[in-house]
Amino acid sequence: MKAMCHSLLQDLASVEERLRAAVRILLFLDFDGTLVPFVQDPSEARLDEGARQTLAQISRNARTVTTIISGRSASDICGRIGLDGVVYAGNHGLEICGRRLQFVEPVAAARQEKLAHLSTQLAAQLRDVEGAIVEFKGLTASVHYRWVAASEVARIQSAVEAAVALAPASFRLISSKMAFDIIPRTGWDKGKAVCWIKQHLGNGKALSIYLGDDLTDEDAFRVLPDGITVKVGSITATSARYCLADPAAVHEFLNWLTRHVLA
């Protein structure tokens, strides 16, 4: 990982020529914290109208294929974006749909029932912790603690760790923004999902752009050494080549892309 990356908005000249010359552009966008700012209630996260129109314009461009990739389920992000011609990669890339692509990671699919059971048990255990929410998302689960008193978070963490420790070969725990995510152990990640999508969209020479703010996006940055990889948010060690400060800067870049490259 490199400690520093270049601000993409200050270095557009370095990517403009490559983007103009690209026969095909594969644009990958994370959702929360990348396309939309964090909101207190994740169920309220909405794409603003300007950004939706920009994305719609990009998705109509014949040279470009857009993928939204997220820890949310594919149906959740599809409902929030609502654009045709876009690929949706949900549950950290374990499920992929759109543009006639259809993929569910088989190991994760086989553990779905086990995870549902684990989620039900955790919800029962955390019933008396005010604000704790266990969200079963099909292939993964999230335990949200953003509404929980700070003094109770450690208790939630121990409960989640204990639940995962009962099936350590099947599941692992990752920390996301104000939540603990329970993920099946599959060897699959956002990087594998990106490779799968690149392969199935059938153009080895495509130029990939990937924007994301999560630790899980680092797996994708690493499989795109020749791509335009962009870490969104606070500056931390990252494998991305560029960085952008926040979703507003992401929107500015997407606007620039539609006006200067795809027009």
Binding site for Mg ion (CB under 5 A): 30, 32-33, 213-214
Strands annotated E in 154-219:
171-176, 179-184, 207-212
Residue 214 CB, nearest approach to Mg ion (Å): 4
Q: Are 251 and 14 in contact (CB under 8 A)?
A: no
Q: Are 186 and 170 in contact (CB under 8 A)?
A: no
**Closest of 94, 84, 254 to residue 190, by C-alpha:** 94
Reading the block at residue 23, the tokens are 């026969």
Q: Which of 32/181 has CB closer to Mg ion?
A: 32
Q: Which of 184/247 has CB closer to Mg ion?
A: 247
Residue 67 CB, nearest approach to Mg ion (Å): 14
Q: Which residue is nearest to Mg ion (CB)?
A: 33
Question: Strands 133-136 and 207-212, how do they pair?
Answer: unpaired
Write out the catalytic residue numbers.
Answer: 30
11-44 residues labelled b (16+ CB within 10 A) or e (exposed): ebeebeeebeebebbbbbbbbbbbbbeeeeebee
Report the distance separating Cα 42 and Cα 85, nearest Å. 25
Residue 257 CB, nearest approach to Mg ion (Å): 20
Residue 32 CB, nearest approach to Mg ion (Å): 4
Q: Which of 37/82 has CB closer to Mg ion?
A: 37
3-state secondary structure of 228: strand
Q: Which of 32/218 has CB closer to Mg ion?
A: 32
